Chains A and B, each alone.
Chain A
Amino acid sequence: MLTAGSAARPVVAAVVARTARLVLLLTAVAVASFVLMVNSPVDPVAAYVGADVASLGPAQRALIAQRWGLDDPAHERFLSWFGNLLGGDFGFSLTFNRPVLEVIGDKFLASLALMALAWLLSGVLGFGLGLVAGVRRGWFADRAITWLSYALASAPTFWVGLLLLYVFAVSLNWAPVCCAVPIGVPADEVGLGDRLAHLALPAITLSVVGIAPVVLHTRQAVVDALASDHVAFARAQGERGVGLVLHRVVRNAAAPALLLQFGSLGELFGGSVLAEQVFSYPGLGAATTTAALGQDVPLLLGIALFTTVLVFAGNLVGDRVHALLDPRSRLVDLRGTR
């Protein structure tokens, strides 16, 4: 039997253990990514120069390499980069010509709105549909929802985005074709409606893609819950219909659904890379592509670390929320047992 007092110490220990794990993880990610980046056969200077290759001579290229510190041996570059990292300095983005942390901060703010909206949409819709499918298991609604989920799971994110773009922006002209703000409007005149209008299609794209796993897992959780002993007992007491779902199923199904939803931040971010590319939405996802295509090693490393923390934090929050909803799981590291 657990009481609050006895639980406190393990919680502290768990937090310490988690933090240690995160630090270890980040170190590993940093080292591994750096090794990968440095060994890339692609010449970053050539990528930076791009089409200007006609007008730049070897002397200028040497200057560029020098400015980026590409002359130093790899291990020195890593040590200085890693040292700066410990001091909170993520380095300097080459393509954006500003500190990595600033780039990430700026771009992430834009992505945050997109991801949060999509996350909520897919969570709420997915849970609702999964609930319906699970309760109506085997009936038409279930089959339709399940089929749709499988179809969505098989559809490439960017293609869904392309279709939406074609239908709603190009053909119907209902939504803007690009960007996060209307064209030519100074920042202080951009209204909430404008932002939402520009957010709508990318967010829908992103949520459409994330919805399938939520639906299917919720459905399974509902089916499991409905087959469980406690629902049998509730039925034996005359509980049925909406009451059964509300009182005996929702909470049981919500815990795994939330855990999944919080654990899906990584996928969500991956999706945002593609959605932002399709809709020219200037967020962190688009910056990731730019960094990868432009050989911007410091930015790419920064994004890798940042998203690792993001995913880690998502899982952590998910575990906490799960524990709130499902008292049995408290103090148990779910990730290890799943």
Chain B
Amino acid sequence: MSTAPLLEIRSLAVSFTQYDRGLRRRTVTALAGMDLTADRGELVALVGASGAGKSLLAHAVLGMLPPNAVESGTVRFDGVVLDPAARRDRAGRDLALLPQSVTFLDPVTPVFRQVRRAAVLAGRSAPDAVAGAALEHRGLGPEVHRRYPHQLSGGQVRRVLTAMALMGDPALVVADEPTPGLPAEAVRAALADLRRIADRHRAVVLITHDLAAALEVADRVVICRHGRTVDEARPADFHTDELTHPYTRALWHALPGNGFRLTEDA
């Protein structure tokens, strides 16, 4: 057993080429230098302004960046440096993506077939039984099996996605922006789910822009800005105002509940 954390990301940078109207080429640097570690049993929140390229981190970790993207930096898993191809190979088993939106389900395939396919991919024997059980376990009976994703409620979708993501019993779960647009109670429920996954000795990376919500469940919070990790803090540091980094402090104080003001060093 190595002492290194399960996931260790160092100086991860991603850029790619885009074309504007008039075909002006520009190179967009989406991630400029991300550092992040997460270990088993830990829920680490990655917080930053929307559109800061946080989702790309999730895709990079799973080795699914679009072909025109250029990646640099290192991603270690269990202490071993994995290149994108190796990460792709582990996706679905050791590494899992947990999305929350209905668009992540195949719109033209009934729910059960998708879950069953996830079971097959995870290498489980008797995929039919496993898939049925996984849905049953999350309170989804046979009545939803033949439904299409658009016929499910938001909560049901989330449970189906969770069932699929966890099918391979992954060591690491990356949850990508699970909460936007949800009412407060739903946000709380979704995050509580994630906390439970972490508590079952898995590493969870929660990517979000909602600092206040993240603080309630995370063990550590990684703050990023302009595609770069700027700070890492524990939730307690926020409440006790022991924040060292000015941006983190500015972010904290700008929250409506914490003074709603601009600190001079923002």
Contact = CB atoms under 8 A, between A and B. Distances in A.
B97 A251 contact: no
Contacts of B59: 232
A294 B6 CA distance: 82
Interface in A241-266: 243, 247-248, 251-252, 255
B88 A237 contact: no
B67 A229 contact: no
Interface in B121-163: 121-122, 148, 150-151, 161
Given A236-B92, A237-B96, A239-B92, A230 B107 contact: yes
B106 A237 contact: no
A30 B118 CA distance: 56
Interface string B37-75: 000000000000000000000010010101100000000
B1 interface: no
A326 B106 CA distance: 10
Interface in A209-238: 227-230, 232-238
A255 B106 CA distance: 13
Contacts of A235: 62, 64, 88, 91
A132 to B, nearest CB: 17
By size class, the interface of chain B is 35 or more
A236 B62 contact: yes
B117 A247 contact: yes
A2 B151 CA distance: 7
Contact of A251 (B91, B108, B167): B108
B91 A237 contact: yes
A1 B154 CA distance: 12
B164 interface: yes
Please indicate which of the listed interface residues B90, B122, B148, B161 has the most CB atoms of chain A within 10 Å of its own CB: B148
B97 A233 contact: yes
Given A232-B59, A232-B64, A328 B92 contact: no
A2 to B, nearest CB: 7
A325 B108 contact: yes
Contact of A237 (B101, B103, B109, B118): B118
A239 B96 contact: no
Main DSSP-derived SS at the A contact region: helix
A252 B95 CA distance: 26
A143 interface: no
Contacts of A251: 106, 108-109
B105 interface: yes
B253 interface: no
A237 B168 contact: yes
Interface residues of A, number: 26
Contacts of B108: 251-252, 255, 325-328
A49 B105 CA distance: 68
A143 B25 CA distance: 22
B104 interface: yes
B235 interface: no
A238 B170 CA distance: 12
A21 interface: no
Nearest to A324: B108
Nearest to B110: A327
A91 B117 CA distance: 59
B165 interface: yes
B83 to A, nearest CB: 16
A18 interface: no
B99 interface: yes
A240 interface: yes
A138 interface: yes
A230 B104 contact: yes
Contact of A229 (B95, B104, B164): B104
Contact of A238 (B104, B107, B121): B121
19 contacts: A1-B151, A227-B66, A230-B106, A230-B107, A233-B99, A233-B104, A236-B64, A237-B92, A238-B90, A238-B92, A238-B121, A239-B92, A248-B109, A251-B106, A326-B108, A327-B107, A327-B148, A328-B107, A328-B148
Interface of A: 1-2, 138, 227-230, 232-240, 243, 247-248, 251-252, 255, 325-328
- In the A-B complex, the 5 residue pairs with the smallest Cβ-Cβ separation, listed nearest first, are A238-B92, A236-B97, A237-B92, A229-B103, A233-B104
